[in-house]
Amino acid sequence: MAPSPGQPLLSHSAQGSSGGSPQDDLPDRGEPAPRGRSRRLLIATVILLALSALAYAVPAVAMSGKILPGTRVQGVDIGGLTVTEAADRLRARLAERAGEPMILTAFGKEHKLDPGRAGLELDVVATIDQAPSGFPGPAEVWRALTGTVDLPPKVSADPGRLEEAVDGLAKEIDRKVVEGAVRFEGTEPVTVKPRDGRKLERTAAAEAVEKAYLTSDGPVELPVTVIKPKVTASVVAKTADSAAEALSGPITLTNGEKQATLPVGTIAAHLTFKPDDSGGMRPRFDARKAVATVEKDLVDAAQAPREPTYEIVGGKPKLVPGRKGKGVDDGKLADAVAKLVAEGGSRTIPVTLAIVEPRTSDAEMRKLGIKEKISEFTTQYPCCAPRVTNIRTIAKLLDGHLVKPGETFSLNGVVGERDKARGFVEAPMIMGGRLVDSVGGGISQFVTTMYNAVFFGGLEDVQHMAHEFYISRYPAGRESTVSWPQPDFRWKNDSPYGVLVKTSSTATSVTVAFWSTKRYDIESISSERYNITQFERKTDSGPDCIPMTGQQGFTIDVTRVFKKDGKEVKREKKTTVYKPETDLKCVSSDEKPTDGD
Q: Are 457 and 375 in contact (CB under 8 A)?
A: yes
Packing angle of the helix pair 202-212, 159-173 (nearest 10 deg): 110
d(CA 525, CA 563): 13
Q: Give the per-residue pLDDT at 17.
A: 43
The predicted-structure confidence for 377-413, as pLDDT tens digits, reads as follows 999 999 988 899 999 999 999 999 999 999 999 998 8
Of 502, 197, 185, the C-alpha closest to 374 is: 502
Average pLDDT over residues 294-321: 90
d(CA 137, CA 60): 8
pLDDT interval class at 35 (50, 70, 90): low
Q: CB within 8 A of 315, min separation 6: which ones?
A: none
Q: Give the mean pLDDT of the chain.
A: 85
d(CA 392, CA 507): 8
Instruction: Give the three-state DSSP class for 165.
Output: helix
pLDDT for 16 beyond 80: no
Q: Give the per-residue pLDDT at 19.
A: 46
Q: What percent of the chain shows pLDDT beyond 90?
A: 49
Q: Are 250 and 261 in contact (CB under 8 A)?
A: yes
The predicted-structure confidence for 441-473, as pLDDT tens digits, reads as follows 889 999 999 999 999 999 999 999 999 888 888
Lowest average pLDDT, out of 113-122, 170-179, 363-372, 584-593, goes to: 584-593
Q: CB within 8 A of 350, min separation 6: which ones?
A: 253, 254, 255
d(CA 490, CA 340): 29
Q: Give the per-residue pLDDT at 71.
A: 82
Chain centroid, CA 45 distance in Å: 82
* Better pLDDT: 120 or 65: 120
* Better pLDDT: 572 or 85: 572
Q: Are 347 and 251 in contact (CB under 8 A)?
A: yes
Q: Give the per-residue pLDDT at 3.
A: 43
Q: CB within 8 A of 171, min separation 6: which ones?
A: none
pLDDT for 560 beyond 90: yes
**If you average pLDDT over each of 44-48, 130-134, 154-158, 215-219, which comes out highest?**
154-158
- What region does 94 belong to: left with phi over 0, alpha with psi -120 to 50, or beta? alpha
d(CA 432, CA 483): 12
d(CA 323, CA 491): 29
Lowest average pLDDT, out of 317-331, 432-446, 547-561, goes to: 432-446
Q: Give the per-residue pLDDT at 589.
A: 65
Average pLDDT over residues 175-201: 92
DSSP-derived letter for residue 57 is H
pLDDT for 238 beyond 70: yes
d(CA 548, CA 428): 11
Count of Cβ atoms closer than 10 Å to residue 206 Cβ: 19
The predicted-structure confidence for 248-298, as pLDDT tens digits, reads as follows 889 999 999 999 888 888 898 899 999 988 899 999 999 988 888 788 889
pLDDT interval class at 92 (50, 70, 90): confident
d(CA 333, CA 328): 8
Q: Are 107 and 198 in contact (CB under 8 A)?
A: yes
Residue by residue, DSSP assigns 84-133 as: HHHHHHHHHHHHHHHHSPEEEEETTEEEEE-TTTTTEEE-HHHHHTTS--
pLDDT interval class at 13 (50, 70, 90): very low
**If you average pLDDT over each of 138-142, 392-396, 580-584, which comes out highest?**
392-396
Packing angle of the helix pair 138-146, 34-63 (nearest 10 deg): 70
Residue 48: Cβ-neighbour burial (10 angstroms; 0-12, 13-18, 19+): exposed
* Better pLDDT: 352 or 77: 352
The predicted-structure confidence for 192-230, as pLDDT tens digits, reads as follows 999 999 999 999 999 999 998 888 888 999 999 999 999
Q: Give the per-residue pLDDT at 130.
A: 80
The single-letter code of the amino acid at 23 is Q
Q: Tell me the domains of the chain and their CATH numbers.
A: 71-172 (no CATH), 235-366 (3.10.20), 372-596 (no CATH)
> Going edge to edge, which strands form the sheet with 181-185?
188-192, 181-185, 271-275, 281-285
For residues 89-115, one letter each, b for 16 or more C-beta atoms within 10 angstroms of the residue's C-beta and e for the rest, the string is bbeebbeeebeeebebebeeeebebeb
Lowest average pLDDT, out of 169-173, 349-353, 358-362, goes to: 358-362
Q: Give the per-residue pLDDT at 34.
A: 61
pLDDT interval class at 142 (50, 70, 90): low
pLDDT interval class at 70 (50, 70, 90): confident
Q: What percent of the chain shows pLDDT beyond 70?
A: 86
As a dihedral over the C-alpha atoms of residue 179, residue 180, residue 185, residue 187, rounded to 10 degrees, the angle is -140
Instruction: Give the three-state DSSP class for 236.
Output: helix
d(CA 206, CA 222): 9
Q: CB within 8 A of 447, min separation 6: which ones?
A: 411, 464, 480, 481, 482, 489
Q: Give the per-residue pLDDT at 31.
A: 54
d(CA 556, CA 384): 32
Instruction: Give the three-state DSSP class for 50.
Output: helix
pLDDT for 55 beyond 60: no
The predicted-structure confidence for 504-532, as pLDDT tens digits, reads as follows 999 999 999 999 999 999 999 999 999 99
Q: Are 579 and 533 in contact (CB under 8 A)?
A: yes
Largest CA distance in the chain: 199
Q: Give the per-residue pLDDT at 590.
A: 62
Lowest average pLDDT, out of 28-32, 50-54, 187-191, 572-576, goes to: 28-32
DSSP-derived letter for residue 66 is S
Lowest average pLDDT, out of 49-58, 259-268, 361-370, 434-443, goes to: 49-58
The predicted-structure confidence for 155-171, as pLDDT tens digits, reads as follows 888 999 999 999 999 99
The single-letter code of the amino acid at 159 is P
Q: Are 429 and 483 in contact (CB under 8 A)?
A: yes
* Better pLDDT: 61 or 108: 108
d(CA 211, CA 198): 23
Q: Give the per-residue pLDDT at 2.
A: 42
pLDDT for 25 beyond 70: no
DSSP-derived letter for residue 134 is S
Instruction: Give the three-state DSSP class for 164.
Output: helix
d(CA 23, CA 397): 153
pLDDT interval class at 577 (50, 70, 90): very high
Q: Are 330 and 310 in contact (CB under 8 A)?
A: no
As a dihedral over the C-alpha atoms of residue 152, residue 158, residue 163, residue 165, rounded to 10 degrees, the angle is -80
pLDDT for 595 beyond 60: no
